[in-house]
Structure 1
Amino acid sequence: MSSAILFPGQASQTPDMRDLVADVRPDLLALATELVGEDPFARVDDGTDYAQPALFCASLAGLATLGETAEAVAGHSLGELAALVAAGSLDEADGLALVALRGRLMQRAGESSGTGGMLAVLGAGDVAGLARRHGVTVANDNAPGQLVLSGDHEALRALGSDARAAGLKTMALGVAGAFHSPHMEPAVEEFARAVEAVEMRQPLIPVYSCVSAARVKDAAEIRFRLVEGITSPVLWRQTLEALHAAGVRRFVETGPGKVLTRLVSRTLDEVEALTARQVAQSRATTSA
Structure 2
Amino acid sequence: MVFPGMGPTGFADIERFATEVPLAWRLFAEADEALGYPVLDRFRRADGDYSEYAQVAFLVTCLALAEWAEHEALPARPGLCTGPSFGGKVAAAYVGSLGFADAVWMTARLARCVADYFSREHRSLVTHSFVRVDPGVAEEMLGELTARGRVADVACRVDRDFFMVTLSADDLPGLEKGIRAAGGLSLYTMRPPMHSPSFARLRERAEKEVLDELEFAEPRLPVISDHDGSLLTTGEQVRNLLLDGFVQRMHWPGTVEALHARGVRTVCVAGPDALFGRVPATTRHFKVVPVGPKRPLLAAAARDAEPRSSRVGESSAERGSAAG
- Contact 1:196/1:223 (<8 A) preserved: no
Aligned residue identity for 1:137: D
Tell me the alpha carbon deviations over residues 32-51 of structure 1, each in whole angstroms, 9 at most, x when there is no partner.
Answer: 76369862354263544343
Q: Aligned equivalents of 1:128 and 1:52: distance in 2? A: 32
CA distance in 1, matches of 2:60, 2:126: 26
Give CA deviations for 1:49-78 in whole Å, capped at 9, x if unaligned. 343222111111211221252011111212
TM-score, normalization by structure 2 = 0.77
CA distance in 2, matches of 1:70, 1:140: 25
2:111 maps to 1:88: no
The answer as to whether partners of 1:51 and 1:103 remain within 8 angstroms in 2 is: no
Aligned to 2:32: 30
Residue in structure 1 matching 2:13, options 5, 13, 16: 16
Cα distance in 1 for residues equivalent to 2:276 and 2:284: 15
After TM superposition, list the pairs within 5 Å mapping 1:1-288 onto structure 2.
Answer: 5-11=1-7, 13=9, 15-22=12-19, 23=21, 24=24, 25-31=27-33, 34=36, 39-43=42-46, 45-66=48-69, 67=71, 68=74, 69-112=77-120, 113-125=122-134, 126-135=137-146, 136-173=152-189, 175-193=190-208, 194-263=210-279, 265-277=280-292
Distance 2:8 2:124 in 1: 24
Compute the RMSD of aligned alpha carbons. 2.7
Choose 132-141 or 35-44, whichever is displaced more.
35-44
User: Which AA in structure 2 matches 1:8?
Assistant: P
- The answer to which structure has the higher strand fraction is 1
Contact 1:138 1:149 in 2 (8 A): yes
Residue type of the alignment partner of 1:81 = K
Distance 1:191 1:207 in 2: 21
Regions of 4+ moved over 4 Å: 35-38, 277-288
Cα 1:82–1:119 change in 2 (3 A) is same
Task: Give SS of 1:7's match.
Answer: coil
Structure 1 regions of 5+ residues with no counterpart?
Answer: none
Cα distance, 1:152 vs structure 2: 0.7
CA contact (8 A) 1:253 1:274 kept: yes
Which one has the largest radius of gyration?
Answer: 2
Once residues 130 and 295 of structure 2 are traced to their aligned partners in structure 1, the CA distance between those partners, rounded to angstroms, is 31
The letter of the residue matching 1:161 is K
Report the number of matched residues.
282
- Letter of the 2:94 counterpart: A
Out of 136-145 and 58-67, give the one that drifted further: 58-67
**Quick one: percent identity of the two aligned structures?**
21
Q: 1:243 to 1:270 in 2, by over 3 A?
A: closer
Q: Deviations over 1:201-244 (max 9, x none)?
A: 11111111212322113222222221111121111221112101
1:64 maps to amino acid:
E
- What displacement does 1:249 show? 0.6
- The letter of the residue matching 1:127 is A
* TM-score under structure 1 length normalisation: 0.86
CA distance in structure 2 between the aligned counterparts of 1:169 and 1:152, rounded to whole angstroms:
19
Aligned residue identity for 1:91 = G
Q: Which runs of 5+ in 2 are unaligned?
A: 147-151, 312-324
Change in Cα spacing, 1:205 to 1:132, as seen in structure 2 (3 Å) is: same
Q: SS of the residue aligned with 2:36?
A: helix
Q: Is the 8 A contact 1:75 1:83 kept in 2?
A: yes
